[in-house]
Structure 1
Amino acid sequence: MTVPSPSAQPNSLRRRLMLLAVGCTMLAMPGAFAQEVAAPATVLPANGDEIQQFCTNIADAARDQRYLLQKKDLEKLQAEVDARIAKLEERRAEYEDWLKRRNDFLKQAELGLVDIYKTMKADAAAGQLELVNPAIAAAIVMKLPPRQSSLILSEMSSDKAAVLTNIISSASDSTTSKEPS
């Protein structure tokens, strides 16, 4: 069986190429199936011109698809940036809350209590600070001179001294965060 050469059936080959070009164009254009397809031209260009015309015909549709893909990528990146900004704002609010609590904590000790405990003996101050709210006791101990604070903490029971030490260390730790990064 012999295969007929393309020159023997030029109209058949041209029709096939034209149908292929129309089909590719239809697939490249969104919503093209809802539109009517124009009848193929009766005058067909030569083979090299057909390829050039095909590429010219689908160039706009390809460019539109490329723009749509780029737009989707940009929207995805924008959503990621927005999520990161929201996370940073959340962290900033957390830090501001921590700073406010720390400043309030330090102000409690400045109400004159520090001066009272500065003049007391370590064993008497330790006994009274064991009965006070641990947050207030820690604030007072933190405002006292280090030597006096160490004497008071050494006179306290080990449990109470440990609670005060934990409060003081967490109040002075600027890297304290509710959620590790």
Structure 2
Amino acid sequence: MSLRFPLLLSLAIGIATVPAYAADGDAESAKTTGRLPQHLQLSKEEAIVSDEAAYCDAIVDQAREMRYSAREEELQTMQSELERGLELMERKKTEFEKWVQRREEFATRASEALIAIYERMRPDAAAERLMIVDPMLASSILLKMPPAKSGTILNEMEAKKAAGITAIMAASADRGNG
């Protein structure tokens, strides 16, 4: 009776461990069957939780490696997309530079032809047309003409228009010297 009392007491208060001095019959049954006594075995829920924890511990490194591999693959995909985008931008930049160069060549040729046209016009006709166009364009044309010709054309313009164009020409000359 003295050996069974600690066992009954531990069961009554809900302690899961059993003292080492359990009944001899329990020790004998464990030796012959290869199983722990009933009161020492885990419940199904405890066994499942224990198995799940063991499984998680076993695969944690493998799961981490899989996450790293997935992220590395994602980064490589992003990098290749970025490289393709950079190549496309470089081609577009080259194409844009060619268009800018063509435009500048055309503008140079057009402005030279335009200046020649305005130089050959009568001053009053040239003044009348230059008052209608954009003041920046008018000042650009007049700046590229010989001073005597542009002075004559400005003289034929309305005073306010001529003053505005002259201000633009002066500002342009200041930028060219600075």
TM over 0.5: no
Name the TM-score, length of structure 2 as normaliser: 0.41
Q: Give 1 or 2 for the bigger CA radius of gyration.
A: 2
More helix by share: 2
